[in-house]
Amino acid sequence: MTAELDGQVAIITGGSRGLGHAMARALAQQGARTVLASRNSNECVAAAARVQSDFGSPSVGAAADVSNPQDTDLLVRRAVDAFGRIDILVNAAGIMVRGGIEETSVEEFDRCFAVNLRGSWLMCRSVAAVMKAARYGRIINVASVQSFVGLTHRTAYASTKGGIASLTRALALEWAAAGITVNAIAPGAFVTPMVERASHTPEFSEMIQREVPLGRSGRLEEVYGAVQLLASPRSSYILGAIISVDGGWVAH
């Protein structure tokens, strides 16, 4: 039986763990060959080996810092060298900065923007030539509930996620005629290494009960459906959409 993404190739930044890793698994489940990137070479190589053994599609790990333009160009070249094409790009690499605005340093603010927003922008720019030559591409950015609603003590992070929503819409228009769709997924609360420590606090449980109609955080497999939809050739008429996967958080 053929799977929908058989023969296709996907780069997933932040693919070594958490939501990025889940998104890589979602694509491998549909037959895509995957390139998993993060700054830690050992971790992304090990994560790729897990994907390959669990789903049977070839997967490689590649170290890259998405905030660095040389790294993003090199990552694209490595994917083409490994598999000959790139159909799908998932920009899931991200970092969190917590703290009140007066306690957040300018360096933390700049780093958060460099990874979350500039990193997504750079990856899109680096992959442009390959996708435009093929006249086909599926780009999936990772926004957040915080693209739509405020949470205190996260001004830097929330600002990057507002920016990712705007990047998604602007680039969707820019590349509409090129056969490349640009969309985003806006996750709610998923217990990944990014939020692991915070998830044990009473404030986290209270926030989930107060904000999430389903009354729980998401299971990683619950992001698969949105990723598979936006990566599919069948989503050719979906442009600039931001799909919430948040248990109803922004709907209530």
Interface with ligand NAP (CB under 6 A): 13-14, 16-20, 38-40, 43, 64-67, 92-95, 115, 119, 142, 144, 187, 189-190, 192-195
Nearest distance, CB of residue 114 and ligand NAP, angstroms? 8
- 116, 95 contact by CB (below 8 A): yes
Identity of the residue, 4 or 65, whose beta carbon is nearer to ligand NAP in the bound complex: 65
- Taking the least distance from each CB to ligand NAP, the nearer of 22 and 130 is 22
Smallest distance from the beta carbon of 232 to ligand NAP, in angstroms? 21
* Spatial distance between the Cα atoms of 247 and 214, rounded to a whole number of angstroms: 5
CB 2 within 8 A of CB 31: yes
Question: Is 73 buried (19+), middle (13-18) or exposed (0-12) by CB count in 10 A?
Answer: middle
Taking the least distance from each CB to ligand NAP, the nearer of 30 and 192 is 192
Cβ at position 243, least distance to ligand NAP in Å: 12
Residue 222: CB atoms within 10 Å: 17
Whether 157 sits among the annotated catalytic residues: the reply is yes
Distance, CA of 145 to CA of 182 (rounded, Å): 18
Q: Tokens 């998830």 — which residue?
A: 199
Residue with smallest beta-carbon separation from ligand NAP:
18
Q: How far is the CB of 179 from ligand NAP (least distance, A)?
A: 26
Catalytic annotation, residues: 157
